Structure 1
Amino acid sequence: MAAPRFTAACIQMRSGRDVLKNRDAAVALVREAADKGAHFAQTPEMTSLISRDRADLFEKIGPQDQDPVLASLREVARERGVLVQIGSLAVKDGDKVANRSFLIDAKGEIVASYDKIHLYDVDLPNGESWRESATYTGGDTAVLAETPWGLLGMTICYDLRFPALYRALAENGASFLSAPAAFTRQTGEAHWEVLHRARAIETGSFMISAAQGGLHESGRETFGHSIIVDPWGRVLAEAGTEPGVILAEIDPALVTEVRGRIPTLKNARSFKVAIALDPQPLGRAASA
């Protein structure tokens, strides 16, 4: 029996330094999504707090069982009978922080969690410098979560640039893939949509990714453009830069249809890599 269609919502935010204010914004937007018919609602990476100050971050976070955003979103999931994916929260993990995503079922129970595997360490041409590894601890396990409509592959932000992760999730049964994010404006303008369409096409999966958008209190500027893409690579819904909700109807049967037409998951073969070295460097004449 085919899985039923459902309505997915991406919750776009502009999280600041006030955890409780961010919590209230997330709760209000999830309720709005549910009122508009969403069965599944996803918030962005760092739903609870965006701060570039490490001391400020550590002062305002704690272990997940004490996180007020997690507790409130569990309650709203139970209240409205919707699945809620928290794109990620910063939670204490020893002397570092875990960038952790949660899937909450319609009874308010945590059914899965995922720690971001790939950490964003970079120096950008505009002078911005990011060293996630200085503060965050990377995960080491890809996670598939069961939903009423099929398996959801959970990833976060920078993971989007590593296609092997998405292929592994799809090969293990994922029909839906998510990459909730806080992409910078510059990289988002260049790559956000094309990477989502590529991951969807490569795996024959839906991509559902909520994002942070706009200029934050910390001075960081994020791209926004929360997006839902179908397995054929078509954009079903896309936001701008302002906080709000986007929705799209998801037909799980389309995953089977597209994978049947372009069976890349089945047709993949293992291979070796050979490096053929030219014994005659270019521009150098052979000896007579």
Structure 2
Amino acid sequence: MKVAALQMVSGTVLDANLAEARRLLEQAAAAGAELAVLPEYFCLLGARDTDKLAIAEPFGAGPIQDFLARSARELGLWIAGGTLPLAGRGADRARNSCLVFDPRGRCVARYDKIHLFRFDDGAQHFDEARVLERGDAPALFTLAARDGRTWRVGLSVCYDLRFPELYRGYAAQGADLLLVPSAFTHTTGQAHWEMLLRARAIENLAYVLAPAQGGLHENGRRTWGHSMLVDPWGEVLAQQAEGAGCVAGALDAQRLARLRAQLPALEHRRL
């Protein structure tokens, strides 16, 4: 099954970001992808953390969700919508949510980011908990491919990547593919991004598809990029360093089964 990680350099204008996302989704569909995954904050990287609150939508209704549903339906794609802000418990909080739409435009899965990023090296300061509330539970969905195969897919977002127990839980539930839409900072991405992605793939004997924000944004933030597809043996199959683009590759069900049979590490776990 062909898949695509869509890398963006999102700005501060919602409509412009959606137009760019649509261009990349069309590129993925033209390349034969069945699943396309957008990066974290694909719809907006605002000038301030609170900007995302202004576009937060109730779950099930809103222009960003309508855009994702319509694009999935018109392009015949499974789309994992990176993240978008969904309404939280109060007007001053939102959920950083990944929604998955099937080719009919139906929302079939929702994952709210569980681990909220905080970083302070004296020069850069980030604290997502100022405007976001954490999610409550992991989320998997089953994707029926055109060839009749089914894939179990586990959802995560960016900073979740540092918490291997989330992915181990997905593996225990039969996950074949792990999605990691992200907006890693240049500093942390340069140090750890590829290492963490390959580790999650190897230890769970699963494919990892990680679309990212990659470049210098209007708000002055610089993200690491390097969107990639990693196979269950830890091999990077496709990658793009910076700039907007479509990182496409193929999942091989026979290779996945063969590797799991040759090295049945998932069966050897002892708690």
Using the alignment, how far apart are the partners of 2:239 and 2:218 within structure 1?
24
Kindly state the Cα deviation for residue 136 of structure 1 after the two structures are TM-superposed: 0.6
- What does residue 111 of structure 2 align with? 114
Match runs of 1:187-202 below 5 Å: 187-202=188-203
- What does residue 223 of structure 1 align with? 224
Find the residue that maps to 2:115 and give its secondary structure: coil
Kindly state the Cα deviation for residue 52 of structure 1 after the two structures are TM-superposed: 4.8
Aligned counterpart for 1:13 among listed residues 1, 8, 18: 8
Using the alignment, how far apart are the partners of 1:7 and 1:257 within structure 2?
19
- What does residue 97 of structure 2 align with? 100
1:197-231 per-residue CA deviation (whole Å, 9 max, x = no partner) reads: 11000000000010001111111110011110000
Match runs of 1:276-287 below 5 Å: none
Find the residue that maps to 1:87 and give its secondary structure: coil
Using the alignment, how far apart are the partners of 2:52 and 2:31 within structure 1?
34
1:51 aligns with 2:52: no
User: What is the TM-score when the length of structure 1 is the normalising length?
Assistant: 0.89
Using the alignment, how far apart are the partners of 1:198 and 1:161 within structure 2?
10
Using the alignment, how far apart are the partners of 1:81 and 1:251 within structure 2?
21
Question: In the alignment, is the contact (CA less than 8 A) between 1:49 and 1:90 conserved in 2?
Answer: no
Question: In the alignment, is the contact (CA less than 8 A) between 1:20 and 1:69 conserved in 2?
Answer: no
- What does residue 23 of structure 2 align with? 28
User: What is the TM-score when the length of structure 2 is the normalising length?
Assistant: 0.94
Aligned counterpart for 2:136 among listed residues 136, 140, 159: 140
Question: In the alignment, is the contact (CA less than 8 A) between 1:152 and 1:176 conserved in 2?
Answer: yes
Structure possessing the higher radius of gyration over alpha carbons? 1
Using the alignment, how far apart are the partners of 2:196 and 2:36 within structure 1?
22
Kindly state the Cα deviation for residue 91 of structure 1 after the two structures are TM-superposed: 1.9
Find the residue that maps to 2:82 and give its secondary structure: strand
Kindly state the Cα deviation for residue 252 of structure 1 after the two structures are TM-superposed: 1.9
- What does residue 257 of structure 1 align with? 258
CA spacing shift, 1:36–1:139, aligned 2, 3 Å: same
- What does residue 283 of structure 1 align with? none
In the alignment, residue 106 of structure 2 is paired with which amino acid? Answer: E
In the alignment, residue 126 of structure 2 is paired with which amino acid? Answer: W
1:57-95 per-residue CA deviation (whole Å, 9 max, x = no partner) reads: 322333244432221121111111111111111122122
Using the alignment, how far apart are the partners of 1:78 and 1:9 within structure 2?
17
Aligned counterpart for 1:75 among listed residues 70, 74, 82: 70
1:225-254 per-residue CA deviation (whole Å, 9 max, x = no partner) reads: 111000011101001111010100111222
Using the alignment, how far apart are the partners of 1:158 and 1:89 within structure 2?
16
Using the alignment, how far apart are the partners of 2:198 and 2:236 within structure 1?
8
Kindly state the Cα deviation for residue 258 of structure 1 after the two structures are TM-superposed: 1.4
Query: What 5-or-longer segments of structure 2 have no aligned partner?
Result: 145-149
- What does residue 39 of structure 1 align with? 34
- What does residue 269 of structure 1 align with? 270
Report the number of matched residues: 264
Find the residue that maps to 1:138 and give its secondary structure: coil
- What does residue 91 of structure 1 align with? 86
Query: What 5-or-longer segments of structure 1 have no aligned partner?
Result: 1-5, 271-288
Kindly state the Cα deviation for residue 18 of structure 1 after the two structures are TM-superposed: 0.6
1:106-140 per-residue CA deviation (whole Å, 9 max, x = no partner) reads: 10100001000101122125x11111111111112
- What does residue 174 of structure 2 align with? 173
- What does residue 239 of structure 2 align with? 238
Find the residue that maps to 2:83 and give its secondary structure: strand
- What does residue 163 of structure 1 align with? 164
Question: In the alignment, is the contact (CA less than 8 A) between 1:188 and 1:223 conserved in 2?
Answer: yes
1:159-191 per-residue CA deviation (whole Å, 9 max, x = no partner) reads: 001111111101111000011100001111111
Using the alignment, how far apart are the partners of 1:72 and 1:60 within structure 2?
14
RMSD over aligned CA atoms reads: 1.2
- What does residue 127 of structure 2 align with? 131
In the alignment, residue 4 of structure 2 is paired with which amino acid? Answer: A
